[in-house]
């Protein structure tokens, strides 16, 4: 199993926006593609990059992204798909076994068939050897059964229907720390009894919360004043809530049911890709902020002073300022030449200015409360995002 079941044959930089050290880097590799099936893997890789570029917020920061394709020839085609799985399901088309480089396998935890896993340690070792500057790994598995998984900076998906939506969903977990927003584990009709009401601590993920108070909601800056909080409540915590969305499709609020629980946790949108594969809203505004914060943190000049003022590189105002800057730097953007000159100067004077702010907390508070906060708030209200 593992490296004895295949060979890494090469790598190609398929999206090049500059040096990897200055960009957010995807390493895309396949498993279960034989030598004869390499054209199919290359086509699948192209499909992934096309979908990524067309999806918000990746489209807004596309010039900060590089993609490398790592070619791996597995000895056999497909993936392991056992006859028995804990959820009682049967493999579509019958059980299969395959000797593949990354040991792709459905029912990876023994309980849910859709959990498609690979040897993530080997995936990382392979990426380290071919693309040492990678930020996230994407593994495309050559099997038609629906499935995927995410975590540890490795996202996995199969070539089944809805494959690209699964890829983006799993990226949400692997690269950007997003939680599943659906309110069940095995399924609403599965009869599961241990997912009624969440009673644990506040989750660390940016897109789920146990808080239903507007004033302390972690994404309160994105909730319109007319939107009630909580936005929905589940009248029967023994089952999934099926009520219709009471607000607009893109509106952010606090909707009951998230991270495998019917009650006790809230998600920011009624529906989004972190809840439903194929959702009409790929990533909600909260998820988009988290994604952009991660990409810009590793790929472009930091907002030195703003980060020092807020003492938090992921604060919504800092994220907004980075987004404004990056939009101004996009090819064809209005004022791009001036923005590039400003960023170049800021790259020299920003770090010492930030250190000065860090040494003077009173100055940081003054800049936050009297300068940056009001300026960003005014720009948000007038929609001037560059």
What CATH number did the domain enclosing 147 receive?
3.40.390.10
155 phi/psi in degrees, rounded to 5: -105, 135
Last residue of one domain, picked from the residues 174, 193, 218 = 174
| Cβ-count burial 159-181 (b if 16+ within 10 Å, e if not) | bbeebbbbbbbbbbbbbbebbbb
Task: Determine, yes or no, domain membership for 341.
Answer: yes
Cα dihedral sign, 26-32-33-34: positive
Q: Is the same domain home to 78 and 154? A: yes
123-129 contact pairs (CB < 8 A, 24+): 123/29, 123/154, 124/152, 124/153, 124/154, 126/8, 126/29, 126/70, 126/72, 127/27, 127/29, 127/70, 129/8
For residues 267 and 287, what is the distance between their CA atoms, to the nearest angstrom? 10
The reported pLDDT for the residue numbered 384 is 45
Domain that holds residue 308: 301-382
Residue 210: is its pLDDT beyond 90?
A: yes
Tell how strand 148-151 and strand 255-258 pair up: unpaired
pLDDT above 90: percentage of residues in the chain? 61
Q: Which of 146, 237, 151 is nearest to 192 (CA)?
A: 237
Is residue 335, in this structure, part of any structural domain at all? yes
3-state secondary structure at position 166: helix
Number of domains in the chain: 3
Rounded to 5°, the CA angle 126-130-134 comes to 85
Q: Quick check: 50 pLDDT over 80?
A: yes
Residues 192 and 70 in one domain: no
Please tell me the predicted confidence (pLDDT) of residue 89.
94
Angle at 299 between CA 317 and CA 338, to 5 degrees: 70
**pLDDT average, residue stretch 25-51:** 97
- Over the chain, what is the mean pLDDT? 87
pLDDT for res 386? 38
- Angle (CA) 51-178-72 rounded to 5° is 50
Residues of the chain above pLDDT 70, percent: 85
Residue 94 reports pLDDT greater than 50: yes
Task: Report yes or no: 192 and 184 within 8 Å, Cβ to Cβ.
Answer: yes
pLDDT at 39: 98
Pairing of β 154-158 and β 148-151: antiparallel
Calculate mean pLDDT across residues 18-39. 95
Instruction: Summarize the chain as % helix, strand, coil (round to 5).
Output: 35, 15, 45
| Cis peptide bond prior to 57, omega within 30° of 0 | yes
Mean pLDDT of 312-331: 69
- Is the model's pLDDT at 350 over the cut of 80? no
**Tokens linked to 301:** 């000049």
CA atoms of 121 and 26, how far apart (whole Å): 16
Same-domain pairing of 43 and 133: yes
Give yes or no: residues 56 and 164 share one domain: yes
Q: Which of 147, 174, 201 is the last residue of a domain?
A: 174
The pLDDT, as a whole number, for residue 316 is 76
Residue 285 lies in a domain: no
Tens digits of residue pLDDT in 136-190: 999 999 999 999 998 889 999 999 988 889 899 999 988 999 999 999 887 888 8
Say whether both 6 and 123 belong to one domain: yes
At 246-298, the pLDDT tens digits run 999 999 999 999 999 999 999 999 999 999 887 667 899 999 999 988 887 65
Mark whether 268 and 310 lie in a shared domain: no
pLDDT of 340 reads: 61
**Distance between CA atoms of 245 and 255, rounded to whole angstroms?**
9
Whether the Cβ atoms of residue 23 and residue 296 lie closer than 8 Å to each other? no
Residues 170 and 184 in one domain: no
Return d(Cα 326, Cα 182) in angstroms, integer: 32
Q: Facing residues of 263 across strands? A: 197
* In a domain? residue 215: yes
Note whether 60 and 152 are same-domain residues: yes
The predicted-structure confidence for 184-205, as pLDDT tens digits, reads as follows 887 888 877 788 999 999 999 9
Residues in the chain: 386
Block residue for tokens 């493999």: 91
In a domain, 288, yes or no: no
Q: Given the structure tokens 């040991």, which residue do they identify?
A: 103
pLDDT at 382: 67
Rounded average pLDDT over 85-92 = 93
- For the entire predicted model, the pTM comes to 0.74
pLDDT tens-digit readout, 223-242? 999 999 999 999 999 999 99
By the 8 A CB rule, do 150 and 170 touch? yes
């Amino acid at each position: 199993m593992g490296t004895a079941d295949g060979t890494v044959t090469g790598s190609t930089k398929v999206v090049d926006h500059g040096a990897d050290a200055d960009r957010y880097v995807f390493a895309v590799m396949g498993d279960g593609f034989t030598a004869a099936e390499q054209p199919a893997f290359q086509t699948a890789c192209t499909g992934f990059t096309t979908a990524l570029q067309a999806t918000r917020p990746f489209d807004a920061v596309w010039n900060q992204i590089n993609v490398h394709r790592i070619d791996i020839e597995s000895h056999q085609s497909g993936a392991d798909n056992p006859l028995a799985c804990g959820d009682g399901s049967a493999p579509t088309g019958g059980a299969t076994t395959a000797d593949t480089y990354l040991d792709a396998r459905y029912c990876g935890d023994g309980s849910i068939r859709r959990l498609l896993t690979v040897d993530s340690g080997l995936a990382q070792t392979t990426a380290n050897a071919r693309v040492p500057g990678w930020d996230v790994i994407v593994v495309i598995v050559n099997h038609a059964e629906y499935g995927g998984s995410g975590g540890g900076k490795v996202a996995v998906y199969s070539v089944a229907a809805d494959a690209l939506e699964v890829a983006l969903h799993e990226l949400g977990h692997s690269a950007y720390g997003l939680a599943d927003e659906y309110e069940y584990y095995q399924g609403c009709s599965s009869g599961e009894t241990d997912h009624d009401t969440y009673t644990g601590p506040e989750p660390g993920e940016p897109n789920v919360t146990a808080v239903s108070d507007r004033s302390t909601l972690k994404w309160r800056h994105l909730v319109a004043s007319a939107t009630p909080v909580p936005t929905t409540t589940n009248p029967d915590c023994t089952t999934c809530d099926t009520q219709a969305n009471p607000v607009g499709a893109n509106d952010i609020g606090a909707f009951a049911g998230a991270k495998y629980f019917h009650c006790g946790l809230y998600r920011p949108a009624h529906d989004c890709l972190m809840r439903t594969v194929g959702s009409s809203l790929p990533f909600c505004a909260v998820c988009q902020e988290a994604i952009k914060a991660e990409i810009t943190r590793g790929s472009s000049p930091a907002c030195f002073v703003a980060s020092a003022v807020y003492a938090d590189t992921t604060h919504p105002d800092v994220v907004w300022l980075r987004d404004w800057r990056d939009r101004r730097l996009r090819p064809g953007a209005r004022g791009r030449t001036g923005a590039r000159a400003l960023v170049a100067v800021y790259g020299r004077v920003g770090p010492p200015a930030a250190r000065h702010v860090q040494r003077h907390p009173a100055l940081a508070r003054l800049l936050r409360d009297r300068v940056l906060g009001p300026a960003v708030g005014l720009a948000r209200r007038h929609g001037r995002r560059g």
